[in-house]
């Protein structure tokens, strides 16, 4: 049935529904778009004949807010939202964020911390015996005992803290249908222990078939080494074809059991999911508040794949979507695009065609769909595997078809290109057409760092690979007669990065003449190898010690070094260079990062930062960013010469615009 799902008793009455099969409690605003997990799961259930109602962002201080749709026939579904609620609420410095893009009007504070746990406890106050099933990213990444950055301790499985009956992890389309059919057939909730992609609790561990026992909760709380070993066992059991059933015990004689992941969707199954009757926008009740900001990023974008075999250690995709690529057919994507291009707000630009990694369209090698991914090897790290299938032909064909659609002026790629995979392709046709048709002036890429010691901890290719990509990208654009640039994402304070490596990165940026406008501090989110390193100070892959910058002041110094030209960072940069024994970088020579303190100077311009002054920092940064890869700033020049060059470049940019 076309139309939004019920959010009130009046909506139920209009649809002729006396009692819903499922009530879905969500931490986000209700947006009926396939980029929002609650929309996908509810539409999949609806397509199988089940009725679903939505309670969006209930007032967790009022238990009646959970009863507005009545008691469901089969159970409550609960998700904290498209993001972990703590990441949604707090920056890496644990400061409260000012906006929530998943709430009407961007208003912050409409969901609680640890939203999944709070919502489940709220339901239990009113409905004592109703089945409660949790899912979504927050539940998925906290499904077993995990380090929680915000409380700085190891928390229990979210299944226990929430009091839910079952947890569905991963993307969930297969497991939610299997669950619904089991409940509908009369199987008791306690007996639903057989669904792939689920986590359940039991007091009878002997009933678990071929389970692999992890260290118990008390042990991993008392020993960081055991925590690291337990985490890596979980990491090695995330493949749907090879994963073992995992068992984790707790002091109160209860065991949490993780079944192997659900099998990947076939192309036809993916097509089916994306062909469901989504309204593709927010619920009209939010229009007065200004709508839901998060949809602006996806409204005119197309999902072509899910999963990622890139293997970045700071990314949780391995635990949620998995490493096996699942793709939609060209026909499915073209059909969605053909509807999208006639929407009144469409201005001719498809913002993205991709997924976690845009240029991955198929599994990395032939054997994965039968034998799964390799447990202890990565497809691209430290070098591309000899079995890696490198081919951009299918993706290129898709992009060409989209470019030919009526009303389409440009098709951009913004969800991320794996440059090491691109370089591994001996056929440069995709590289050429990427630069010619799919870059909006700047291509964003993610080298993350340039120190090989840090890159190894990140699971990223060596800096030589990135340097080669920069060279080939510049050459390709020159060949095409285009003036397009690279914008690199960089990360400070990742495990393995000392002040030495942070200075190394600053020197690299000096030589490029580039200062990033934004720098991401490493954020220890649940269920990543990097977060395990952060907590344990051990690399779980090797059990070797890892240096971790945890002191906020040191983290601030590492971040400041990346933006060393910003006069506001002078004191931090000076202190960092002192501590790193790199005072050779303080002086008037061309290679120096900053000038010595002037008499009476307190940092900033007076302290000797010649490339920027506080009045012009914003404009200078933009100018410098635009020139990345095309020319290099020369720090040794006088300030008047630098200022003159910047003004001239800015005038040229405005002329081109």
Phi-psi region of 241 (alpha: psi -120 to 50; beta: other; left: phi over 0): alpha
Tokens of 651: 């005038």
β-pair partners for 55: 25
- Of the candidates 101, 109, 136, 85, the one whose C-alpha atom is nearest the C-alpha of residue 31 is 101
Average pLDDT over residues 192-221: 95
Q: Are 515 and 571 members of one domain?
A: yes
Q: What is the pLDDT of residue 601?
A: 52
Are 39 and 188 found together in one domain? yes
**430 and 450, same domain (yes or no):** no
Is residue 129 domain-resident? yes
Q: What is the pLDDT of residue 605?
A: 41
Residue 400 pLDDT > 70: yes
Instruction: Looking at the structure, tell me whether residues 436 and 446 fall in a common domain.
Output: no
State the angle between helix axes of 499-512 and 570-579 in degrees (0 to 180), rounded to the nearest 10: 120
Q: Evaluate if residue 645 carries a pLDDT over 80.
A: no
Does the pLDDT of residue 1 top 90, yes or no?
no
**Per-residue pLDDT, 599:** 64
Average pLDDT of span 110-128: 97
Total domains, the chain: 3
For residue 600, what pLDDT band results from cuts at 50, 70 and 90? low
Per-residue pLDDT tens digits for 16-63: 999 999 999 999 999 999 999 999 999 999 999 999 999 999 999 999
Of the chain, the percentage scoring pLDDT greater than 70 comes to: 91
b (16+ CB within 10 A) / e for 36-61:
bbbbbbbbbbbeeebbbbbbbbbebe
Q: CA 135 to CA 469: how far, in whole Å?
A: 39
Provide the pLDDT confidence category of residue 510 given band limits of 50, 70 and 90: very high
Looking at residue 376, its pLDDT comes to 83
For 343-357, what is the mean pLDDT? 95
β-pair partners for 488 = 445
Tell me, what CATH number does 365's domain have? 3.30.750.210
DSSP, residue by residue, 107-157: -S-SS-TTHHHHHHHHHHHH-SSS-EEEEHHHHHHTSSSEEETTTTEEEPP
pLDDT of residue 651: 43
Percent of the chain with pLDDT over 90: 85
Asked if residue 103 lies in contact with residue 161, where contact means CB atoms within 8 angstroms, the answer is: no
Tell me, yes or no, whether 486 and 428 share the same domain: no
Q: Provide the pLDDT for residue 366.
A: 86
pLDDT band at 517; cut points 50, 70, 90: confident
Among 417, 440, 463, give the residue marking a domain's end: 440
375-392 pLDDT, tens digit each: 888 999 999 999 999 999
Contact criterion met (CB below 8 Å) for 305 and 344: no
Domain-ending residue, one of 146, 181, 201: 201
Higher pLDDT: 334 or 635? It is: 334
Q: What share of the chain is helix, strand, coil (3-state, %, to 5)?
A: 40, 15, 45
DSSP state of 253: T
Q: What DSSP character marks residue 84?
A: -
C-alpha triplet 299, 301, 307: angle, nearest 5°: 120
Same domain, 23 and 109: yes
Give CA–CA dist 229/233, Å, rounded. 6
Residue 153 pairs in a beta bridge with 148
- Which of 146, 176, 201 is where one domain is finished? 201
Cα separation, 496 vs 453, whole angstroms: 7
Render pLDDT for 358-369 as a digit per residue (tens, 0 to 9): 999 999 998 888
The pLDDT of residue 609 is above 80:
no
d(CA 654, CA 626): 12
CATH code of the domain in which 102 resides: 3.40.50.2300
Question: pLDDT at position 267, please?
Answer: 97
**Could you tell me the pLDDT band of residue 403, with boundaries at 50, 70 and 90?**
very high
> How far apart, in Å, are the Cα atoms of 577 and each of 476, 506, 573, 589?
37, 11, 6, 16
Q: Do 471 and 417 share a domain, yes or no? A: no
Residue 463 lies in domain: 441-657
Cα–Cα distance measured from residue 180 to residue 172, given in angstroms and rounded to the nearest whole number: 12
User: Domain for residue 180, yes or no?
Assistant: yes
What pLDDT does residue 252 have? 79
128 in the same domain as 192: yes
- pLDDT value of position 112: 97
Q: pLDDT digits over 427-475, tens only? A: 999 999 999 999 988 999 999 999 999 999 999 999 999 999 999 999 9
Least confident of 284-293, 364-373, 590-599, 628-637: 628-637
For residues 13 and 157, state if they share a domain: yes
CA distance 321 to 443: 25
Tokens coding 182: 């089991």
Q: What is the CATH number of the domain that holds 632?
A: 3.30.750.200
What's the token pair of residue 109?
């504070």
Of 96-100, 153-157, 632-636, the range with the lowest mean pLDDT is 632-636
């Amino acid at each position: 049935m076309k139309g939004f799902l019920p959010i009130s008793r009046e909506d139920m009455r209009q649809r002729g529904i006396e009692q819903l099969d499922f009530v879905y409690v969500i931490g986000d605003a209700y947006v009926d778009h396939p980029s929002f997990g609650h929309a996908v799961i509810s539409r999949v259930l609806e397509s199988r004949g089940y009725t679903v109602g939505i309670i969006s962002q209930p007032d967790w201080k009022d238990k009646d807010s959970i009863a507005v749709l009545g008691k469901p026939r089969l159970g409550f579904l609960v998700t904290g939202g498209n993001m972990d609620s703590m990441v949604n609420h707090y920056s890496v410095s644990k400061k409260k964020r000012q906006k929530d893009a998943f709430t009407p009007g961007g208003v912050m504070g409409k969901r609680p911390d640890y939203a999944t746990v709070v919502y489940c406890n709220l339901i239990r106050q009113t409905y004592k015996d109703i089945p409660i099933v949790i899912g979504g990213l927050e539940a998925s990444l906290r499904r077993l005992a995990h380090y929680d950055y915000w409380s700085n301790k190891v928390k229990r499985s979210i299944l226990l803290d929430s009091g839910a009956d079952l947890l569905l992890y991963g993307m969930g389309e297969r497991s939610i249908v299997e669950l619904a059919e089991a409940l509908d057939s009369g199987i008791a909730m306690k007996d639903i222990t057989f669904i792939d992609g689920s986590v359940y609790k039991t007091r009878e561990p002997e009933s678990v078939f071929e389970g692999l026992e992890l260290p118990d909760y008390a042990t991993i709380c008392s020993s960081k080494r055991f925590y690291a070993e337990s985490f890596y066992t979980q990491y090695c059991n995330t493949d749907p074809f090879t994963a073992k059933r995992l068992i984790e015990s707790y002091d109160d004689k209860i065991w949490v059991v993780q079944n192997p992941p659900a099998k990947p969707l076939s192309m036809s199954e993916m097509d089916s999911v994306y062909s469901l009757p989504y309204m593709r926008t927010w619920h009209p009740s939010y229009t007065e508040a200004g709508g839901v900001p998060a949809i602006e990023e996806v409204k005119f974008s197309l999902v072509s794949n899910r999963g990622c075999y890139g293997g970045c250690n700071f990314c949780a995709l391995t635990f949620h979507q998995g490493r096996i690529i699942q793709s939609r057919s060209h026909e499915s994507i073209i059909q969605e695009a053909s509807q999208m291009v006639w929407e009144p707000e469409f201005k001719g630009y498809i913002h993205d065609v991709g997924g976690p990694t845009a240029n991955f369209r198929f599994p990395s090698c032939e054997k994965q769909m039968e034998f799964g991914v390799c447990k202890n090897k990565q497809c691209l790290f430290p070098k591309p595997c000899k079995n890696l299938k490198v081919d951009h032909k299918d993706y290129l064909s898709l992009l060409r078809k989209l470019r030919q659609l009526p009303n389409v002026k440009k098709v951009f790629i913004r969800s991320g290109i794996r440059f090491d995979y691109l370089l591994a392709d001996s056929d440069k046709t995709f590289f050429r057409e990427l630069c010619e048709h799919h870059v909006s002036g700047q291509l964003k890429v993610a080298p993350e760092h340039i120190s090989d010691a840090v890159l190894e901890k990140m699971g990223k290719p060596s800096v030589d690979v990135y340097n080669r990509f920069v060279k080939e990208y510049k050459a390709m654009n020159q060949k095409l007669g285009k003036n397009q640039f690279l914008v690199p994402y960089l990360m400070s304070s990742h495990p393995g990065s000392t002040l030495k490596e942070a200075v190394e990165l600053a020197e690299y940026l000096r030589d490029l003449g580039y200062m990033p406008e934004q720098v991401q501090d490493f954020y220890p989110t649940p269920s990543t190898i990097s977060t395990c390193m952060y907590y344990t100070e051990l690399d779980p892959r090797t059990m070797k010690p890892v240096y971790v910058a945890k002191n906020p002041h040191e983290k601030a110094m590492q971040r400041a070094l990346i933006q060393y030209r910003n006069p506001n960072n002078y004191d931090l940069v000076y202190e960092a260079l002192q501590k790193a024994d790199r005072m050779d970088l303080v002086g008037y020579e061309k290679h120096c990062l900053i000038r010595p303190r002037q008499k009476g100077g307190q940092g900033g311009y007076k302290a000797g930062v010649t490339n920027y002054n506080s009045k012009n920092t914003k404009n200078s940064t933009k100018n410098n960013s635009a020139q990345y890869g095309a020319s290099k700033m020369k720090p040794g020049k006088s300030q008047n010469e630098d200022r003159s060059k910047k003004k001239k470049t800015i005038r040229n940019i405005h002329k081109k615009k």
